[in-house]
Structure formats: C-alpha cells, structure tokens
Copies of this chain bind each other. A is one copy, B any other.
Amino acid sequence: MNYPNKIKKEFHKNVNYANRGMDLENIINDTNTYLLEKDLAVIYKKPTPIGVVKVSYENNHQIINKAYFATESTLDYNGLYKGKYVEFDAKSTKSKTSFPLSNIHPHQIEHIRNIIRHGGIVFLIIEMNSNFYLLNGPDLINFIDNYSRKSIPFTYIEKNSYLLEYNYLKGLNYLKYVDIIGGIE
C-alpha cells in the first residue's frame, strides 16, 4: 500500500510503543485523532499492557528497568460514538485466501461475546488483499460457532463484511458502517 510522503511521515511521528510501526495501527490511530478533533467520536487505543519486573528511580522519577509485553484480554480500541459503546480490534494478514483465527486470543473471543451480550458495538477491522474490511462481531461469532475451522475464508469476509474506504485526510470511514451495524440514525 502506498501513501503520500507527507502522510507517511505523519504516521510515524510520536512512536511511543516498541511494537508500533504497523501501518494499519497508525492509520486507525490517525483516524481516531481526526474523529476526536472533529468531535465525531471519542475513541482511543488502549495502552499496550505490560508486566513490570523491575523499577528504579532517576531524579525522583520512576524508570522501568525490566518489563514484558503482556497479552490482552480485551480489544485494542474502545470508546464512545453517538452515545454508544464501541470496541474493535485491527488485524492484518498477508494470506490472500483466509484470515487465521489464531490472530484473536480466546480471551478476546470471550470478550467479544460479552460486549455483544451487554449491548455494545464490537467488530474487527481486517486488512487483507490490500483492502480494509469491517467484520461485525456477531458475524465473527457466527462463523466461529458454526464452522470448526482455524481460519475464515476470504470469501466469507468479502460476503459478510463492509469494504472500508481510506482517505488521506479523514482516514478510514468505519463510522459509516458503525451507524449501520449499531442501528444508529
């Protein structure tokens, strides 16, 4: 995927987390910054969970000297849109034919079920075959519960998700489809 140089630079400034650098994550962070600035939604990426092992002090400030990245049991992004609870995760796969379900931890699947049951909007944004797809949580759970497969065929994703559009100023237009899946006016 190619973005204009200006945008590329924008995406790579303020890199705070060691495991950042993934294009999709940067696109979504920039999208959410745009949505916040335009006062359209209040959606943030949760900080990467870490387990701190060792801490010291430098000039009265705590410095972490040893820590590890922990696995997450919720999804990466959550927030508020038109009074509704919204949560999602962003996943990229290089496979052209199927999306491996190993990309989603069992705790996250359980969490997605919880969010659906409690009336929240939950989905995945999947980058695959150079496109971005929004797969609604219930459609993901439906696949998991009805097919004993280790990956979702691309044909299922194409048929059951929304193809997103990317704009270099506004980012990904995922809210358009949140209106639809959330039954929002």
Interface of A with B (CB < 8 Å)? 16-19, 36, 39, 41-42, 44, 46-52, 55, 61-70, 73-74, 78-85, 87, 111, 114-115, 117-120
Contact = CB atoms under 8 A, between A and B. Distances in A.
B66 A64 contact: yes
Query: How many copies of this chain does one complex carry?
Result: 2
A70 B18 CA distance: 14
18 contacts: A16-B51, A17-B51, A17-B52, A18-B52, A18-B62, A42-B118, A42-B120, A44-B73, A46-B46, A46-B47, A48-B50, A50-B64, A62-B69, A64-B66, A64-B69, A80-B119, A81-B118, A83-B119
Nearest to A41: B118
B118 A80 contact: yes
Contacts of A70: 16, 47
A61 to B, nearest CB: 7
A65 B69 CA distance: 11
A174 B61 CA distance: 33
A46 B63 CA distance: 20
Q: List the 6 closest pairs (A to B, CB-CB), nearest first.
A: A83-B119, A47-B49, A18-B52, A64-B67, A85-B85, A47-B47
Contacts of A80: 85, 87, 115, 118-120
